[in-house]
Structure 1
């Protein structure tokens, strides 16, 4: 049976993806990876640990403090308040962390490779995306192709929520239990 590594932030989307992976790949075939990237909402890390434990899923926490050093966004810099809408110049929300999902998925693929897994699952969604370019299907497909070229074997990136609304994600979570 195939094995999968789920990017688990501790939020609704990634939790739904964890249970999607357990349903698809089976208990004992799924692990979680959580990234400590200097996020202001440290409770996410605690939530991810509790969710992984409740699901009976091993979890690895990888520290990536580079984002905090780069700064310039409301997710990692305490001096920047989260604002509604998008910046007039960049047309992005101030919570956008440049390349965050691409970097997370690259590290997740490297960890999956080390574990001998061929599947990575992430909760990115293009439908309700917050203006984050690295949540678009085209970006994920391009990264998957790049990883395929850079690894000994192909690692598939699964995005079960890519075209689901928040309401659809909640419905899926209920179905999965």
Structure 2
């Protein structure tokens, strides 16, 4: 195992925290982002800005051509983004088919290229209920496959698997992170909407930690 990791970095608060955690643990980090046609493409602007400020390598892979085989999600299609607290039906509307398997496969290839021993991604405990590709059994299977898919074994790791979003935020606050440098809202407008499930979950995480989210919102649920 090398001291280099590839962090799948969306530009959201979870992957932002993960990126800094990897650096805090002494790893050499390569940040990897994906443009898959998400309506909240603004998150990629945040990712680029943070990577530049930290002076770490950052690659953005454009996979929008894969939309035809990753359609049917409110994040990539003309389906309205559900509002309110995450419930089963609303969360299912935001599932991008097979997204994490595709992204982790590409990230594994990149890890081999840059000599990284692991790929980290921000799956967490709050995602388990609906997102199959954020569950422990998925991570375990992907880890097993990616260790044997190339001559060089690459581990798949989800360090936040046992944490919820509030606990992830707590880790970031301990590191002194500035969450103005992140984007969470599923709508691609100038300000975060404050109403979509992603915004509501983020605001609840900040409330659970007794701090105010520094982002500007259209309204705060």
Task: Tell me which residue corresponds to 1:7.
Answer: 8
| Matched ranges for 1:103-142 at <5 A | 103-125=102-124, 127-129=125-127, 131-142=130-141
Q: What is the match of residue 35 of structure 2?
A: 36
For 1:19, the equivalent position in structure 2 comes to 20
Bigger-Rg structure (1/2):
2
Partners of 1:120 and 1:50 in 2: how far apart? 21
Q: What is the CA deviation profile of residues 50-104 of structure 1, one whole-angstrom value per residue up to 9, with x for unaligned ones?
A: 1211222110001112442231110001x201225334xxx96110011101111
Gaps of 5+ in 1: none
Verify the 8 A CA contact 2:139 2:157 in the aligned structure 1: no
Q: 1:12-161 maps to which residues of 2 (within 5 A)? A: 12-26=13-27, 29-70=28-69, 71-77=71-77, 79-83=78-82, 85-87=87-89, 93-125=92-124, 127-129=125-127, 131-161=130-160
Q: Number of aligned residue pairs: give it.
A: 170
Distance in 2 between residues matched to 1:25 and 1:103, nearest whole Å: 28
Contact 1:83–1:93 (CA under 8 A) maintained in structure 2: no
Deviation, 1:107, is 0.5
Whether the 8 Å contact between 1:123 and 1:159 is mirrored in structure 2 is yes
Q: Distance in 2 between matches of 1:168 and 1:97?
A: 25
Deviation at 1:175, TM superposition (A): 1.6
* Residues 118, 154 of structure 1: 8 Å contact kept: yes
TM-fit CA distance, 1:40:
0.8
**Is the contact between residue 67 and residue 76 of structure 1 (CA under 8 Å) also seen in structure 2?**
no
- 2:172 alignment counterpart: 173
Instruction: With the length of structure 2 as denominator, give the TM-score of the two structures.
Output: 0.72
Q: For the residues of structure 2 that align with 1:140 and 1:59, how far apart are their CA atoms?
A: 24
User: Normalising to structure 1: TM-score of the pair?
Assistant: 0.89
Following TM superposition, by how much is the alpha carbon of 1:43 offset from its aligned partner in structure 2, in angstroms? Answer: 0.3
SS of 1:57's equivalent? coil
In structure 1, the residue corresponding to 2:38 is in which secondary structure? coil
